[in-house]
Structure 1
Amino acid sequence: MSNSKSLKIHNKSDKPDNIVIRDNNVIERCISIENSLPKFMKDYFIYLKGSVAVSTRLAYLVDIQFFCSYLVEMQELTSAKDIKDISLEEFNKIKARDVNLFLGDYCTRYYKQTSKNTLIFENNNRALARKKSSISTLFKFMYRNEQLDNNITDGFNPIKLPKPQPDAIKRLEIDEVAKMLDSVENGDGLTEKEKVYWKKTKLRDKAILALFVTYGLRLNELRELNISSFNFSRGEFKIYRKRGKEVLMPINHTCELVVKDYIYNERPQSELLNDEYKDALFLSLQNKRLTAKAIRQLVKKYTSISMDTSRDNGYSPHKLRATAATSLIQNGFSIYDVQNLLDHDNVTTTQLYAAHKKHVKRDIVNNFEWIDDESDLDSLDLLNEEIINLSKDN
């Protein structure tokens, strides 16, 4: 899109302007990549536009652009000097072995030359699996679309992904959450320099942390919140999730209190702000919508204080999402309720957090005794002693 004209929003949807602008920016990036790719992929671009979310569409296009750049760089499967000039005939000659070499050999470790340095890039199995998925989608579509003679995807090598381990999930313990919230309340653990900014932003930071650990929001879900997202009279607020889903969330007393405290006692008045940011909930000291980087930094700062570690070892917002999940399950909420709250596609993801509730079976039966008579319990102790003595005799 030309930069000579300013972007005007003509928004007749229920989505706020900031969500429309965010999606538009992703779409513009998609269009830019599509314009750099061969024209014979146009049908595939139309297919992506109607079948996947804009973020997924962008991820697929980035991977396909990278694959085409590899083809041009290697010069073994195409004579084109630019990815736009790769022909359909050349693409039709690509074999499964060629894709396997790209994924298994080139992608695992490759180099890029800059004017000053040689950069080394590596991809783990998770990144390789995503690239494989992107390329598979393209080749399958083009085969169905009768542009390719064969479906070569059956010959792609499997990529084994490590099974997620519950113990590897990083999250705050309940006492660490309390310490984190105390820190943002009182300034404990902050340096003198940090306290200068804390005095100006403590209500904002407290509201951010409370929303993270209560609802397990994703970073962008929190960042895109507006004042108009909240309907306090109905006790709810609206968030915009992945794949364009709009969700109404009930607001509890704690979060209502901290959000209102920030809005009425710390956030600049809307009439002092540029039109673009009048509705934005969380603002920077420059009176702009808080960036994702700034949110990550404040979360790392306060989580590092709660864990008594360095700022670099503080947790990301996603770890607060894990904290919310495990805390809810430990407080007795069902896996399916937590799955719904956190918007997990698969309950298996939620079950990983449930695994942190150790000794759950023991806790259940120990708190569900049918025998409370002390004489009966004494008899049980005597029986245990007799069993031990009998086993020794044998």
Structure 2
Amino acid sequence: MSNKKELKISNKSDRPDNIVLRDHLLIEKAMEYEKRLPSFMKDYFVYLKSSVAVSTRAAYLEDIIFFCEYIVNESGLTDKDDIKNLTVEDFKNIKSRDVNLFLGDYCPRYYKEREDHTFVYENNNRALARKKSSISTLFKFLYRNEQLPINITDGFNPIKLPKPQPDAIKRLDIDEVMVMLDAVESGEGLTEKEKVYWEKTKLRDKAILALFVTYGLRLNELRELNISSFNFSRGEFKIYRKRGKEVLMPINKTCENVVIDYINYERPKSEDLPEDVQDALFLSLQRKRLTPRAIRQLVKKYTSICMHTSRDKGYSPHKLRATAATSLIQSGFSIYDVKALLDHDNVTTTQLYAAHKKNIKRDIVNNFEWLDEKEEVSLDGIQASDNNNNNNLEANDVNIDTEADIKDENQE
């Protein structure tokens, strides 16, 4: 019988309980990782607490555990049989070459024996770059903390990341967004089995999709929304970004209406719910806060309908984030406005979506006319007069380019 006590949140901050609980669970995860690592890294653990986000801290420690397991089990660099027993002397024996072999030879493809199966794991360059970053922070800190005599990170091999290509960004076109929203409204494109659930969740699903394509929210930003996140009288709602940033977002009339409809007509009344989800906005049919997996499946289902493909080929919530970015830019908003809305760290990320703006050359020249309308008419009159004066010219030989002809030619 488990002696584990039920966790209760004593929240004295203005942050909602679910956000406090989320961060608490990440901290607990990081602390469990720390218990598995050698004691000489204690100063490094303290450094991470004050210098990086909670999620980053847990990710770094997980990567370092993986590296230490390699040192113990694969490298031959130590005689220790457990990563907990590694010492700073063992780390003094590690050279740049050893880390490069780990990142370049072992990590890209490695095997793990588990029960009756052998699992094959692969890491692409982006994953390798993250592991390199985690290991680099550790070795740099140990050097600055005077635990290592030299800084070996200068000898780490560079990891080339593929340059993001605008054409590779997957997103919905504006007309596909309209088809998707119509599908959640009417149920068209759903199977008979899906319609059974749709009848009970269509207002919830519509609100979720509208928020995704309007604001480009990240999955967890949407999942963590509460009823108390919305202040309809002031026309705004609060979200919690990465690294704990608290942001107020203005709410437009469309999103306000779909959220209110869901709360009033479909979501269970708060007083009928367990205490821990009374404030949660988006609930499952089991009356629990929606899981990330459930939200992904929901989005894949409706995006597959508008793209006329199978459910497993539907898009993820992050593709709706890309959809919001490209749609806003195509509507004329600057990349700096879109950067602010989507919380991009760097404007170059937003510029990738700007590259998707269709017919940009035609839009530029069509909106930059040197001749006014009256002058264009007079030129047409001159052309018509010249044609009438040429009696030998057959009608089917006359070549007058209309605006539609020019557009068709440009498209070809």
TM class, shorter-length: over 0.9
Q: What is the RMSD of the two structures over their aligned residues, measured on CA atoms?
A: 1.5
1:375 and 2:378 correspond:
yes
1:300 and 2:300 correspond:
yes
How big is the shift at 1:360? 2.0
Partner letter of residue 96 of structure 2? A
Looking at structure 1, the residues matched to 247 and 343 of structure 2 have their Cα atoms a distance apart, in angstroms, of 10
Q: Per-residue displacement from partner, 1:96-151 (whole Å, max 9, x unpaired)?
A: 00000000000011000011210000100000000000000100010000000110
Change (3 A) 1:339 1:3: farther
Aligned residue number for residue 396 of structure 2? none
Partner letter of residue 117 of structure 1? H
Aligned residue number for residue 220 of structure 2? 220
Looking at structure 1, the residues matched to 341 and 90 of structure 2 have their Cα atoms a distance apart, in angstroms, of 48
How big is the shift at 1:379? 7.2
SS of the equivalent of 2:160 reads: coil
SS of the equivalent of 1:170 reads: coil
Aligned residue number for residue 175 of structure 1? 175
> Where in structure 2 are the equivalents of 1:117-156 lying within 5 Å?
117-156=117-156
Partner letter of residue 132 of structure 1? K
With 358-367 and 315-324 compared, the bigger mean Cα shift is at 358-367
CA contact (8 A) 2:330 2:358 kept: no
Structure 1: where are the runs of 5+ without partners?
Answer: 386-394
- Percent identical among aligned pairs is 76
Looking at structure 2, the residues matched to 236 and 214 of structure 1 have their Cα atoms a distance apart, in angstroms, of 14
How big is the shift at 1:76? 1.0
Structure 2: where are the runs of 5+ without partners?
Answer: 387-398, 400-412
If the length of structure 1 is used for normalisation, what is the TM-score?
0.95
Q: Per-residue displacement from partner, 1:240-295 (whole Å, max 9, x unpaired)?
A: 00000000000000000000000000000011100000000000000000110000
Change (3 A) 1:159 1:286: same
CA contact (8 A) 2:207 2:259 kept: yes
| Misfit runs of 4+, over 4 Å | 377-382
Change (3 A) 1:355 1:131: same
How many pairs are equivalent? 382
1:100 and 2:103 correspond:
no
Looking at structure 1, the residues matched to 297 and 266 of structure 2 have their Cα atoms a distance apart, in angstroms, of 20
CA contact (8 A) 2:108 2:123 kept: yes
SS of the equivalent of 1:63 reads: helix
Looking at structure 1, the residues matched to 347 and 380 of structure 2 have their Cα atoms a distance apart, in angstroms, of 41
Change (3 A) 1:54 1:366: same
Partner letter of residue 236 of structure 1? E
How big is the shift at 1:187? 0.2
Change (3 A) 1:13 1:155: same
Partner letter of residue 305 of structure 2? I
> Where in structure 2 are the equivalents of 1:310-389 lying within 5 Å?
310-371=310-371, 372=373, 373=375, 374-376=377-379
How big is the shift at 1:75? 5.1
Looking at structure 2, the residues matched to 358 and 324 of structure 1 have their Cα atoms a distance apart, in angstroms, of 15
Partner letter of residue 269 of structure 1? K
If the length of structure 2 is used for normalisation, what is the TM-score?
0.91
1:40 and 2:22 correspond:
no
How big is the shift at 1:236? 0.2
Q: Per-residue displacement from partner, 1:356-389 (whole Å, max 9, x unpaired)?
A: 013324312212313122234677999xx9xxxx
Aligned residue number for residue 391 of structure 1? none
How big is the shift at 1:61? 0.5
> Which of 1 and 2 has greater Rg?
2
Partner letter of residue 352 of structure 1? L
Q: Per-residue displacement from partner, 1:190-244 (whole Å, max 9, x unpaired)?
A: 0000000000000000000000000000000000000000000000000000000
